[in-house]
Copies of this chain bind each other. A is one copy, B any other.
Amino acid sequence: MNISDIARLAGVSPATVSRYLNNGYVSAEKKAIIKKVIDETGYSPLASAQSLRQRRNRVIGVIVPKLSSESISRVVEGISLGLSDSGYHLFLGNTGNDVASELDYLALFQNNFVDGVIFIATEITPRHRRLFNQYTKPLVVVGQLAEGMPSVYHDDEGAAYAVVDHMIAQGSRRIAFLGVKSGDAAAGLGRHEGYRRALLDHGLEPEPTLYQEVEFSIADGYRGALRLLDGGQSFDGLFCATDNIAIGAMNCLHYSKLSVPGDVRVAGVGDSMVSKALLPALTSVHLYYQTSGQEAAQMVMGHLERGQSVNKQLRLGFELCERESTM
Which residues 185-201 in A have Cβ within 8 Å of B in the complex?
A: none
Chain B residues in 8 Å Cβ range of A158: none
Q: Say yes or no for A242: interface residue by CB 8 A criterion.
A: no
Q: Are A84 and B80 in contact (CB under 8 A)?
A: no
**How many chain copies?**
2
With A35-B39, A46-B46, A244-B273 already in contact, 10 other A-B pairs whose C-beta atoms are closer than 8 Å? A22-B44, A44-B45, A62-B92, A67-B77, A67-B80, A68-B74, A68-B77, A90-B92, A91-B92, A244-B274
Chain B residues in 8 Å Cβ range of A244: 273-274
| Whole-angstrom distance between the Cβ of A33 and the nearest chain B Cβ | 15
| Whole-angstrom distance between the Cβ of A68 and the nearest chain B Cβ | 5
Give Cα distance in the complex from A251 to B323, angstroms. 14
Residue of B at shortest CB range from A105?
B89
Which residues 250-282 in A have Cβ within 8 Å of B in the complex?
A: 250-251, 254, 273-274, 276-279
Q: Are B279 and A279 in contact (CB under 8 A)?
A: yes
A46 in contact with B21 given A67-B80, A91-B90 (CB within 8 Å): yes
Chain B residues in 8 Å Cβ range of A233: none
Residue of B at shortest CB range from A255?
B279
Chain B residues in 8 Å Cβ range of A218: 273-274, 276-277
Q: Are A47 and B23 in contact (CB under 8 A)?
A: yes
Chain B residues in 8 Å Cβ range of A46: 21-22, 45-46, 49
Q: Are B39 and A21 in contact (CB under 8 A)?
A: no
A92 in contact with B94 given A46-B46, A47-B23 (CB within 8 Å): no
Residue of B at shortest CB range from A44?
B23
Q: Are A22 and B47 in contact (CB under 8 A)?
A: yes
Which residues 35-85 in A have Cβ within 8 Å of B in the complex?
A: 35, 39, 44-47, 49-50, 59, 62, 66-70, 73-74, 76-77, 80-81, 84
Picked from B23, B50, B70, B77, the residue with its CB within 8 Å of the CB of A66 is: B77
Q: Say yes or no for A93: interface residue by CB 8 A criterion.
A: yes
Chain B residues in 8 Å Cβ range of A76: 67
Picked from B20, B21, B93, the residue with its CB within 8 Å of the CB of A89 is: B93
| Whole-angstrom distance between the Cβ of A89 and the nearest chain B Cβ | 7
Flag A222-259 by CB within 8 Å of B: 1 or 0 each. 10000000000000000000001001101100100000
| Whole-angstrom distance between the Cβ of A57 and the nearest chain B Cβ | 9
Q: Are B68 and A73 in contact (CB under 8 A)?
A: yes
Give Cα distance in the complex from A73 to B75, angstroms. 12
| Whole-angstrom distance between the Cβ of A98 and the nearest chain B Cβ | 10
Picked from B45, B62, B77, the residue with its CB within 8 Å of the CB of A45 is: B45
Q: Are B68 and A70 in contact (CB under 8 A)?
A: yes
Chain B residues in 8 Å Cβ range of A70: 68, 70
Q: List 27 A-B contacts (CB under 8 A).
A: A21-B47, A22-B44, A22-B50, A23-B47, A45-B45, A59-B91, A67-B76, A67-B77, A68-B74, A70-B70, A77-B94, A80-B92, A80-B94, A81-B94, A89-B93, A90-B91, A90-B92, A90-B93, A90-B94, A244-B273, A248-B277, A250-B277, A251-B277, A251-B279, A278-B278, A278-B279, A279-B279
